[in-house]
Amino acid sequence: MFVSNLITKVLTVFLLIATVAAAEPKPTVAHEDPIEIDKSLTLSKVVDLTMEKFPDMAWLNSLEEEAVAIKQRGESWTAGASQAGLRYQNMTSGTVNYVDATVQVPLWNLGQRDAEQERGIKAENSADLQSAATKLRIAGLVRAALWDMELQKIRYEQARAEINVFEQLLAKVERRVELGDLPRADVLLAQTELLQKLSTLTQAEAELMHARKRYSSITQLTKTPAIYQEKLVALKKIEFNHPIFVAINSQIERKQAEIKALKLVGSGQTNLTVGVNSDRTQNNDPRSNQTESFNVGVNIPFGGAEHLQPQIAAQNVELNRLIANREQLFRDLELAHHEAEHNLEVNQAELEIANELKRVAEEHLGMMQLSFSVGELNLMDLLKTQSRTQQAILSAKERAIMLERDIALYNQAVGVLP
């Protein structure tokens, strides 16, 4: 019974190994996102294409439309809609007719039209800068998604390579068991290690699929650029022309322009009224002057400034909230820069260490494999050395990718677009 169960387990393991080997070009899980490499595609182009379909585009377009509307109002010669009036009066006798026709035009207060025009300019500038800040934020998402996908790809490829290594080791162990150099238990030990590597491969593939899906979800693309490595920019600190900082500054300037324009409304708009009066009769009624007259009038509002104060106060609340957000934003940008700079320095040092560890581990593994082949080392010690070596190889590859990623994230932190 024991022998029968053992044979069954061995056959099951071999079946799994054969399945993986036969299907090596395909994923171990029946799911794959159609991501392809496009050599004509650049990182900058990916950012542009992503922005075209980004949810914030509706908001950015509305900001531009609002700016156009504000500018058109500031260019108008009147402070509001004009009104035309017509009044007809007929005496009870039906012989006298009075007709009054008037046009009422709201006038700009002193300096109000200039303030409205300035408000339109600030709104237009703010809309453009919000677009630039959004593009930088999208670039950060794309950068992170691409390098995460590359990191998961390295781990997946390393897991596949380890499968090949342990398959070869299992074949050697089986031959030596057949020759009587090793106990049969070593076959089961080698098979166990291989099954664990199969599990690692499955998990690595799943993470790669997740990373690919995140990229396609963010960009709405199924293609990636062939090259997206970046050169480290020379900026050493957060400058005041950082797109995100400039964007919130533009919001503050726009709000200040809105408050200035609102204050100049004062008690309201002065209205100029121009009219024509007609006084006519059909039967020479002595009550009629039988004339047309022209008249001009001006309506000047007063005493209403205090009614405007709640609106001004509400605008001031929003202004001071923006100022507070700007101060916090600058601190956040400085912190993000520090972290990006620190990560870059750490990974530069870690990459050198990882490469040296890889070299030492590979040399040590060669010695251990030689000792195992001549019977001076047991399988368990060889497997431990093999695992440490594979981990050192993976770590060196990961550090190389992480260094490239950190260069991109540093550029992102200081506000540089790809």
Query: d(Cα 203, Cα 199) in Å, to the nearest integer?
Result: 6
Q: Would you say 83 and 103 are in contact if contact means Cβ atoms under 8 Å apart?
A: yes
DSSP state letter for 108: P
Q: How many CA atoms lie within 13 A of 297 on its CB side?
A: 9
- Say what the pLDDT of residue 283 is: 58
Composition of the chain by helix, strand, coil, percent to 5? 65, 10, 20
Which pair of structure tokens corresponds to residue 210?
A: 């997740």
Q: pLDDT tens digit string along 128-157?
A: 999 999 999 999 999 999 999 999 999 999
Q: pLDDT tens digit string along 269-327?
A: 888 888 877 665 665 655 555 566 778 888 888 877 788 889 999 999 999 999 999 99
Element housing 276 (H / E): strand 270-281
pLDDT band at 218 (very low <50, low <70, confident <90, very high): very high
- Say what the pLDDT of residue 295 is: 80
Query: 220: alpha, beta or left, given left = phi > 0 and alpha = psi -120 to 50?
Result: left
270-281 and 96-107 strand pairing = antiparallel
- Opening angle at CA 217, ends 216 and 222, nearest 5: 20
Radius of gyration of the chain from Cα atoms?
Answer: 39
| Residue 18 pLDDT greater than 50, yes or no | no
